[in-house]
Structure 1
């Protein structure tokens, strides 16, 4: 049985999915990095106001901020929810959502002529969508499920609460932010826009029951190598080929600690790009790990390797490292209520939790660092960041139900005692 108005969910999702809100790394100094995000952010601000929230658009951060006021006298801690407006680095021009009602569980034709199909043999998770209203792209763009499905889930919850004023709740704050996909949205979020909020949730990826309160620790590294150019006919004892030095460096990286050999709780090194001539070479790489000691050990390995190469070749290597974000578990392990609250809500709704590590990062990494512990729920879609993205109306509806239950459970536990039992490790 539908929790909310499925027609509203479908129409609202398709409306926002059609908007080109792709973010751009090379324009990260703009806030946001694309004009489409500003347009949608201001449109969302208006929709929040129409639903009945106090809402405004923060020009400095690019966040659409909403506040649904408490309707109880209890001194209940405000709670927050986040979804991001931008979409990933994939074609987002002329998005044409396709609606497949009562999905039969079989292969979906996105483009017959180009032989682009959404096939459950390739994507087994589609089996969970059988009988539901499946929404896809036409195979030539992404759909925008990440994270417009999360946005619509929040809007559905808010509309439900305002239309059912007898449902008691505390203050609820909403943040629809830009540039999550390029790592700048949460970094720029101003916690003053969420006064008094002590816990929040992002709605990134996954199906009903998915829940993550551990993400990667992340660092990026840039290695520059200086060669010496000499005419090859006179190069003996003089030329230093930066490409040769680069290959020596790459060959010394751990061979098995790479994404294609990593899963679950494994970390890795990933060489993103290389460029070289005899004169100079550049390596861009990232470091990921869940465990803090292993993570800092990986950082040290790169630093030590650069030092070793400089000793061997005579100070020709320069290293720049930047800590990108830290595992939210580093904070949340000492503040278990935000996790237990969500799991208690799942239990009351009869949803089996699928607690797992998030092999990436979210806005929650930065927001948690700002003093608001922010684990991740789900948004009701799949195959993120490409032509095979999809969402179902029913799973977005389930998200709205979960968010409402979390709000109600938060008030209940405020009145009757918080669930601060120690966190369980599910991995």
Structure 2
């Protein structure tokens, strides 16, 4: 089975994450994720992997034993089973040979992928591209990763002369709603020394830094009163919340920032004059910047409390995930250099991209498994305009193989 056939087979299984089930603690949140995990497990068995374990949570792990007596570190690769909830309909993928200009996705519905809106597609002229029919996501986020990883394992099976140490693979559910699968993943039992997720962007992109991420829940408690006799009595919690928001640093919001600029994201506001709850996301690439932002919110809440009275403001701050760069500092940065060499062997220039978001590797790294992020080749994640150049998908598989090669070739002194 070639890599395109694998990918298309995976897209035929609807694995849309289900937010309500996820909020209720159900994992996997949708039955399609378990269906896909079972299919992948059967394919891993055919490829000769061992210790294949599929848990009730749909977390799937397997091991490719070493074919050498040399002592080598255990490298691992991760993909996620679910697709985003932006679209819930079944995927009807199609392959087009791109000759330039717009791509008609659906003539009946007059839906086209327009070159004027997505100019980066020009670099794929003359290539086959997998697209949607305009009614769903493609699901390359992250079924392209699963296809690339299994294709790499197929390459190792077909070429036993390629020396490799122990290789472990894992596929987790519900990445698209809070990295739930990675948070439930048992890194210690898995037994890998380092790893890579495949959950990123166009060919050549590589992620080894992302946000330090936190959450804030601020509750404003006022005092209700009938407006006819409200003077001196009414304390409007909605106005408290708006004043609090107005005191946030100007320009430090998602819509005003880019690259490595951090922000405060006012994400949700709900309530009435008596009680209002504000939910915020806090993001910063540096540890110092992140701590400073969290401290600023704590101090602002305390000052507002002093101004508006006891129990008027309650703030709860929590950490969500760390920047994967925190786990790749100094001598621990070798997974980056291994990947850089693997890219170079495939004539791919590494483009290090700071990810303004989270991915499973951030959680895995925080748990002690350094895990940067390799491209799958796909574009326009979470959109009906998602597309995947076939050459880019194959390149992702080739990079995985060469990561394994380079790992085996290094002198680890073990």
Q: TM-score normalised to the size of structure 1?
A: 0.92
Distance in 2 of aligned mates of 1:198 and 1:270: 35
CA distance in 2 between partners of 1:190 and 1:384 (Å): 28
Q: Cα distance, 1:225 vs. partner?
A: 1.3
Higher mean displacement: 105-114 or 181-190: 105-114
Q: Which residue in the other structure is 1:117 paired with?
A: 112
Match of 2:35 among 39, 45, 51: 39
Matched, 1:341 2:341: no
Aligned to 1:189: 185
Deviation at 1:296, TM superposition (A): 0.7
Whether the 8 Å contact between 2:204 and 2:351 is mirrored in structure 1 is yes
Indicate conservation of the 8 Å contact 2:222/2:274, yes or no: yes
Match of 2:289 among 287, 294, 302: 294
1:58: Cα distance to partner? 3.7
Aligned to 1:390: 387
Q: Structure 1, residues 132-189: CA drift from partner, whole Å, max 9, x if none?
A: 2111111121111111111100011001111111211111100011111112111111
* Alignment partner of 1:17 is 2:8: no
Shift of 1:70: 0.8
Equivalent residues in 2 for 1:279-290, closer than 5 Å: 279-290=274-285
Partner of 2:104: helix, strand, or coil? strand
Deviation, 1:104, is 1.2
RMSD: 1.6
Structure 2: 5+ residue stretches without partners? none
Task: Quote the residue 1:74 is aligned against.
Answer: 70
Matches of residues 28-427 of structure 1 in structure 2 within 5 Å? 28=22, 29-59=25-55, 61-100=57-96, 102-182=97-177, 183-195=179-191, 197-314=192-309, 315-334=311-330, 335-414=332-411
Instruction: Answer yes or no: is the 8 Å Cα contact 1:48–1:55 preserved in 2.
Output: no
Q: CA deviation at 1:414?
A: 3.2
Could you tell me the TM-score, scaled by structure 2's length? 0.95
1:113 and 1:248 map into 2 onto residues whose CA distance is 50
The CA deviation at 1:119 is 1.3
3-state SS of 1:382 partner = coil
Paired residue total: 409
Unaligned 5+ segments in structure 1 are 1-6, 419-427
